[in-house]
């Protein structure tokens, strides 16, 4: 049976974050989250997102796709939670170029964090979105624990037990597993409660 949202498509109109020349995972997450609430369910949220490639062009969101996009165009796969059901979705890279950059001060997030042997904790929120803070914190923790001679640590997957709270006071990211120094699994803790996992990998881009 087809979903009410089968093949519903929205362009994301992405911009490059800072000096990057690819669409950042936090921007894809935030725009998809906004579009999901607009076209499907105001209470909808992203349960999981798995990135498949670095997209250098603009992307579009497709809910309940009836067919899989070509592998070379598939930027991310998602599971989204609605009030009464879950849906599959994909983010597909288009031929439309991204033409704009915007400033992003990652150090502002890290400057109010404390890092110990296996975790990074906020003293307070920094004013950025939840996912931007969690990604920046995870990256900062990895840079401290696992400095690289080549490549860079990048956000690859997110799996949530519940939606991020817009009223949260602080986040903590705790490293739980390192796989060969090339992939990690960390827990996300929001106001003392575990809400999901974030995965990072080493990429050469």
Predicted TM-score (pTM) of this structure: 0.94
Calculate what percentage of the chain has a pLDDT beyond 90: 89
Query: What is the predicted pLDDT for the residue at 6?
Result: 63
Residue range 25-62, pLDDT digits in tens: 999 999 999 999 999 999 999 999 999 999 999 999 99
Tokens 């995870």 found at: 138
Measured distance CA(158)–CA(95) in Å, rounded: 26
Measured distance CA(125)–CA(136) in Å, rounded: 12
Structure tokens at 110: 């890290």
Give the CA angle between residues 177, 46, 75 to the nearest 5°.
80
Chain-centroid distance of CA 34 in Å reads 13
Measured distance CA(40)–CA(29) in Å, rounded: 16
């Amino acid at each position: 049976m087809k979903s009410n949202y089968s093949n519903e498509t929205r362009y994301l109109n992405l911009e490059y974050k800072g000096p990057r020349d690819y669409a950042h995972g936090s921007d894809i997450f935030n725009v998809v989250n906004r579009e999901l609430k607009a076209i499907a369910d105001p209470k909808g949220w992203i349960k999981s997102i798995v990135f498949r490639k670095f997209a250098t062009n603009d992307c579009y969101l497709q809910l309940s796709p009836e067919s899989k996009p070509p592998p070379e165009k598939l930027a991310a796969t998602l599971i989204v939670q609605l009030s009464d059901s879950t849906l599959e979705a994909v983010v597909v890279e288009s031929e439309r170029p991204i033409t704009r950059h915007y400033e992003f001060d990652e150090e502002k997030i890290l400057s109010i964090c404390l890092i110990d042997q296996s975790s990074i904790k906020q003293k307070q929120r920094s004013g950025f979105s939840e996912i931007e803070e969690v990604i920046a914190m995870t990256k900062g923790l990895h840079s401290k624990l696992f400095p690289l001679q080549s490549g860079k640590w990048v956000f690859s997957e997110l799996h949530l037990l519940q939606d991020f709270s817009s009223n949260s006071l602080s986040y903590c990211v705790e490293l739980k597993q390192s796989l060969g120094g090339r992939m990690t699994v960390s827990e996300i803790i929001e106001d003392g409660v575990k809400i999901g996992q974030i995965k990072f990998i080493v990429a050469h881009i």
